[in-house]
Amino acid sequence: MYAWIIDTDHLTEGDAPEGTNLNAKGLTGPRQAPKHLIEALEAGKGLQFKMYDDDGEKYYTGRGIADMDDQESEDFCYGPLGDFGSPNAGAVLIKWTNHPEWNCG
């Protein structure tokens, strides 16, 4: 299992409330993410990722975390992009800071 959190929504304009699709800062996922992983993210743990559109514009910065057995799985590496970045804003690429081998899109 894995979980992710959005730390910065680079698309936010104005005073959109946090934790919404208009300002994703603080959103977590996926819906079935285990509570212990969400709590770890809220405590500042996890590995940083950034999501981009097809022109290279940065959309979101966040962190992901997974149980040890799932850390390098395709579900974990692609998860934030497939769960949220693509459906919410059309992001097409996720890059993992310090783990370029996990980049996908």
- Cβ–Cβ under 8 Å, residues 73 and 66: yes
Model pLDDT for residues 17-65, shown as the tens digit of each residue: 999 888 999 999 999 999 999 999 999 999 999 999 999 999 999 999 9
Give pLDDT, residue 20.
87
- Is the full-model pTM beyond 0.85? yes
Closest by CA to 85, choosing from 94, 77, 75, is 94
Give pLDDT, residue 96.
97
Rounded Cα distance between 71 and 85, Å, is 19
- Cβ–Cβ under 8 Å, residues 91 and 81: yes
